[in-house]
Structure 1
């Protein structure tokens, strides 16, 4: 349907007549084929559905039957056999290139990310961005990638009667350049807990489950989001939209720097910054650097015991060996905590974070 419509737009009357004649010659050749004749003879002998002669041929009744007989090929593969993602891209590009859409001043596009891989989605978004200048493009999407990539300077966020334009935030350029960041995930969440990495996310999720009869945070409308070191970017967005947010972060042995970093959000009632207020020190050295006793893993060991984690990991480490192992295997250790049968104790700042 898409291809025939586009073909009709490009062909003049003379070309359409020529194609129609070529199509009729193909039909005539089919009907005259010896094998088709043999089949029709068999049908005439075998069928009892009519007193008249029964035979097979191809549709000759329509002057434009060739349009209904078109089969589109992509790299010699029939269109209906190619992937759904490629089909979506082809259909969207053809729809946007039609004469009617070229003349339109407003385009409505619903969820362009459906069925697309990351690279294919990037291609499609690039086409939408570059081929529709001068038009108002309105897109519905569940994808932060789409929202970020299409230009956050034009994105209007609505939440509980509050309206914010991303372009008014200092973080707008950051989200645009790094489209993988979970802009919409934060905006659409009821409440969020921001953590630094995958290990933190797993431990916070398990701590919440232990405190809430096995329910995950998301079951209660709380999204635990790993944001790397970009807490302040997300807090700016959360402040503008009044999104309840908790930050669960390491103190890294420098409480003064941490307090300075989050001073702006100290008195914001819907934002809570959680970290251990105690700076721990020890004698362990890794390479030529002192071991940092003020990240999640050593704080977990401090709240439990060496024996607890040796049993959980199936190891026989002493204290220093356990610190080395957990530092070098953060995600594996966090996964063992998350999926383990036995419950462990959590640092106070983690418990404070999950009491959102």
Structure 2
């Protein structure tokens, strides 16, 4: 198993390190956080290949981190010929006896550990060409990877090949898999395992008979007669159309995957994506140690995703798995404890969630836990009316919607707010909780005593005798103002409250959409000001 990865100057990663779980690792992060780059780097260090080719054939200035490139070009303009930036990817393995040949301190951390590394660096053989190239420093805008070489070594310092790497990797990205190849290979393996010699002979004979059958079709005869009449125009030999039954194009390779009698290219994108992933797992998983899966949820419905996750769990049992995802369902089902929130410096982890919290999110997978994980700041509210009112309060306070600032207002239905705080604490995620006082503000605050020590968590409870949101908003304004905003004409506070409680979302939506000024309760204003 892989214990750690270190990456320097590769794509989005300037100086990155991440400890890995021995089983499942669920990688989440914003767009461009480096999720795909991470899987690519692991696969590169284990296979020496990038996009299916030897990495030396894929070298490009765009593989080098942009910040490293910028510092290089600035130094080039200032001092003449600085050392070009290097790419480094290191994989640290479990320290076991069978990996002793890979063990050493030939790594950036100077740890005595077994491992392998890819180093893409300047080749000193090109020093003269490099000096001539950098003489025009003003025109140099990218790292000169034409003068680079690739070094693939273990931590003992010895050069290695793919055979010298003890762990094998399978990178599965449904958007790049060309199914006909994978499908053909999988179908051929089924044929080889399922058909005896007599059945194969009969299928071969039936396939060959298609040539005569095809040639007897009236439309085909007509075309072939016309082609025969044009001998000499194209070739002196007779030209005709028929089925290729040569060994190269035998019946085994002519099979096309069908789903419910539809050829594969004609089925939905979700079915294609799921089938590609499962075929890749079936074909490649047996001898693989590390399985790298890129966003398996693409194009899939909730029920299809449920089936796919179940099958991934089955097929990858005992493997080390890294899954990148934007799906809360994937996150909840594969394990919140395996969550890694990715940044271009490293990963924040959740490893000590209480069992009841993990179970809670697994059972209620509809909760979009990733909204909390990926938000810059979250405000937890009790219901849809609270969500509308708090959004309006934020807009009044800051002049823009909260989402524009990366602030997500999440309806967590009151009692589950503590579960979301359990999720926020290991990530040090700034969170505000807004709750009704339910008639006892002190008791409500005690519910969150376990989180009082965290300065990034704030609790905001409605004060006074107003128990819920409706009387709080009415008390902060007056009857005339609420009638004006809601377009009503209630004569008493009691009648107004009865209306608001009977149509909780309706009155909140009118406040949200109204351009009339309104005064928000103090506890809500405090929450949105932080």
TM-score (norm 2): 0.59
1:33-88 CA distances to partner (integer Å, 9 max, x unpaired)? 23311133345568996255554333345533434432332222332222222222
Aligned pairs, number: 341
Contact 1:203 1:334 in 2 (8 A): yes
Alignment partner of 1:266 is 2:446: no
Contact 1:190 1:221 in 2 (8 A): yes
Counterparts of 1:237 and 1:177, CA distance in 2:
15
Alignment partner of 1:127 is 2:300: no
Contact 2:350 2:427 in 1 (8 A): no
User: For structure 1, which runs of at least 5 residues remain unmatched after alignment?
Assistant: 281-293
Contact 1:157 1:166 in 2 (8 A): no
Alignment partner of 1:10 is 2:190: yes
Contact 1:193 1:245 in 2 (8 A): yes
Alignment of 1:21-60 (within 5 A): 21-43=205-227, 50=234, 52=236, 54-60=239-245
1:263-298 CA distances to partner (integer Å, 9 max, x unpaired)? 233342111111222223xxxxxxxxxxxxx21122
Larger fraction in helix: 1
Counterparts of 2:250 and 2:483, CA distance in 1:
75
Task: Name the CA shift for 1:307/1:82 in 2 (closer, same or farther; >3 Å).
Answer: farther
Alignment of 1:242-253 (within 5 A): 242-253=428-439
Alignment partner of 1:313 is 2:499: no
Report the more deviating stretch, 127-136 or 148-157.
Answer: 148-157
- The alignment's C-alpha RMSD in Å is 2.6
Counterparts of 2:201 and 2:318, CA distance in 1:
37
User: For structure 2, which runs of at least 5 residues remain unmatched after alignment?
Assistant: 1-179
Alignment partner of 1:339 is 2:526: no
The DSSP-based 3-state class of the residue aligned with 1:337 is: helix
Structure ranking higher on relative contact order (CA contacts 8 Å, 6+ apart): 2
Counterparts of 1:333 and 1:65, CA distance in 2:
70
Counterparts of 1:191 and 1:74, CA distance in 2:
45
Alignment of 1:173-322 (within 5 A): 173-213=359-399, 215-228=400-413, 229-280=415-466, 294-318=467-491, 319-322=493-496
Contact 1:145 1:180 in 2 (8 A): yes
Larger fraction in strand: 2
Alignment partner of 1:92 is 2:277: yes
Q: Which of 311, 324, 329 pairs up with 1:140?
A: 324
